[in-house]
Amino acid sequence: MLGDQEIVQRFLETNLQVHPDVVNYIRKQGDPALIDRIIAAIPESTVVVSTRHIPDFAPERDGTRFLTDPRVEVIRGSADSSAAANNFADFVHLFRDRYTRLGNLIRGRNPAMPIEALTRSSRYNQQECTVIGMVGDVRTTGSGNRLIDLEDPTGQLSVLFNKGKDVFAEAERLLPDEVIGVRGKLSQDGRLFFAEQIVRPDIPINHAPYTSPQPGKAVLVSDIHVGSDTFLEAEWNRFADWLQDSDVQYLLVAGDLVDGIGIYPGQEEELVIRDIYEQYDVLGGMLADLPSRLRIVLSPGNHDAVRAAEPQPAIPPDFTRKFPGNCLFVENPCLLAVQGVRVLMYHGRSIDDMIGLIPGASYAQPEQMMEGMLERRHLALTYGKRTSLAATRQDQLVIDPIPEVLHTGHVHTSGLTRYRGVLGVNAGAWQSQTAFQKQMNIHPTPARAVVLDFQTLEPQILDFTGPSAV
């Protein structure tokens, strides 16, 4: 019978550290010759021996075991739920579904009139009322007011936001294709609606988030970008070391798992791994080196090997052959219940669009954009900008039900917020500033992870940029 110490010692003699899972495996096998076979087969650069170095070791890849784990439940966005992106005509259904669902959230608190009923006769002219519609074209008039087209299933209305009114500041933050209520009055000639107030679907003020009665912690990260020459390997390894001794049970990764290939012009020059399968294999090895007690949930981002249009399907099995069995692949976005706490994971491509459209928004404060998603109850509203939307018949980017946590990534800058009880987390990235980001004056805050305590919903930022930083 081999003892753990003896096993560890045998590896140390050849200058190798050994993962606890390997020690367990060897002890159970009770075969001392196995150690020699492992050492003989090990690649020269290896520092830590993990289960993938064991000849003939078959990792447990039984996804169903994980799915029946009562602690992580995929409420929406499981790998087998992939909504097909159908033909172009389905955009009509998509936008109608969006209007109905977001409109109902507004209507619950604000009785509203159909646009057609308002404009059909002169009866309502100059009477205060509310309409609910989707924002179309937004423009500034010659005199500096804002004019928008507002559309509902019955008709269309031109809505004017006077620059002298309080509502004007809100009107500057309108996003094309968002659904809003507008309180105001129709002009005397019935051609223009003068806005007094904007009502958004929003999170109710009295929203009380659920907390887990049992202890439990997750660590939230995103944007690992394996394969890029700016991937921060030493920092990741420090994080992996920290995980060994931590009491964290879940690792959630919100997209851009690898750097991918052909994502932007000239990317080849910035890749150290130019094969997409190899990028995922290396990541699989990195995750296999983490403690096997972790439940790892991975959703894709715009650098991953799935369609760019959102919702993005889960990473298919072709790419995940080297991933350990404790990994669960989900769509982007996806809604999890971890110990009953709802975590909405979304990579965050739409943050680029929001920053471009909202005056004063900046890459340094992604938390403001997370708040913007929550108040609009939608993850990616605007069609036709950088974020491409799939023509699914249902709008899967509506934020409903309300999660306890919104976990995003993409912008590579860390940000935390608490908006009406919902915690917003953007951890950052595991990639240092790229040439492109330098050009764009984007300053990433990489090598950070956010620990979330499910009993308190308190976040804690861990910084792995330096050896003693945590």
> Could you list the residues that contact ligand D5M (CB under 6 A)?
223, 256, 264, 302-303, 352, 363, 410-412, 436-437, 440, 442
Task: Judge whether 278 and 271 are in contact, CB under 8 Å.
Answer: no
Compute the least distance from the CB of residue 188 to ligand D5M, in Å.
46
| Least spacing, CB of residue 309 vs Zn ion, in Å | 14
469 binds, among Fe ion, ligand D5M, Zn ion, none (CB under 5 to 8 A by kind): none
- By CB under 5 A, is residue 410 in contact with Zn ion? yes
Q: Which is nearer to Fe ion, 256 or 281 (CB)?
A: 256
Identify which of residues 227 and 301 has a Cβ nearer to Zn ion in the complex: 301
Smallest distance, ligand D5M to C-beta of residue 253, A: 13
Query: Measured from the CB atom, is 130 or 445 closer to ligand D5M?
Result: 445
184 binds, among ligand D5M, Fe ion, Zn ion, none (CB under 5 to 8 A by kind): none
Q: Smaller CB distance to Fe ion: residue 239 or 419?
A: 239
- In this chain, which stretch among 9-17, 139-147, 239-247, 296-304 interacts with Zn ion, using CB under 5 A? 296-304
Q: Hey, which residues between 184 and 243 contact Fe ion (CB under 5 A)?
A: 223
State yes or no: residue 259 binds Zn ion (CB under 5 A).
no
What is the closest distance, in whole angstroms, from the C-beta atom of residue 439 to ligand D5M in the complex? 9
Tokens of 259: 């750097």
Residue with the CB atom nearest ligand D5M in the bound state? 411
**Cβ closest to Fe ion, residue 148 vs residue 271:** 271
Q: Considering the rule CB under 5 A, would residue 417 count as an interface residue with Zn ion? A: no
- Nearest residue (CB) to ligand D5M, 217 versus 349: 349
Q: Cα(441)–Cα(433) distance, rounded to whole angstroms?
A: 10
CB of 410 to ligand D5M, least distance (A): 5
- 304 binds Fe ion per the rule CB under 5 A: no
Distance in Å, CB of 347 to Zn ion, minimum: 6
Q: Is 259 in the site for Fe ion (CB under 5 A)?
A: no
256 or 353: whose CB is closer to Fe ion? 256
- Shortest gap between Cβ of 262 and Zn ion (angstroms)? 15
Can you give the three-state secondary structure of the chain, one letter per residue?
CCCHHHHHHHHHCCCCEECHHHHHHHHHHCCHHHHHHHHHHCCCCCCEECHHHCCCCCCCCCHHHHHCCCCEEEEEEEHHHCCCCCCCCHHHHHHHHHHHHHHHHHHCCCCCECHHHHHHCHHHECCEEEEEEEEEEEEECCCCCEEEEEEECCEEEEEEECCCCCHHHHHCCCCCCCEEEEEEEECCCCCCEEEEEEECCCCCCCCCCCCCCCCCEEEEECCCCECECCECHHHHHHHHHHHHHCCCCEEEEECCCECCCCCCCCHHHHECCCCHHHHHHHHHHHHHCCCCCCEEEEECCCCCCCCCCECECCCCHHHCCCCCCCEEEEEEEEEEEECCEEEEECCCCHHHHHHHHCCCCCCCCHHHHHHHHHHHCECCCCCCCCCCECCCCCCCCECCCCCCEEEECCCCCCEEEEECCEEEEECCCCECCCHHHHHCCCCCCCCEEEEEECCCCEEEEEECCCCCCC
Q: Which of 77, 216, 301, 324 binds Zn ion (CB under 5 A)?
A: 301
* Binding status of residue 256 toward Fe ion by CB under 5 A: yes
- Cα(297)–Cα(155) distance, integer angstroms: 44
Q: Which stretch binds Zn ion (CB under 5 A): 38-46, 124-132, 187-195, 248-256?
A: 248-256
Provide the minimum distance between the beta carbon of 431 and ligand D5M in the complex, in angstroms, as a whole number.
7
302 sits near Zn ion (criterion: CB under 5 A): yes
Q: Report the interface residues with Fe ion, using CB under 5 A.
A: 223, 256
Q: Report the interface residues with Zn ion, using CB under 5 A.
A: 256, 301-302, 410
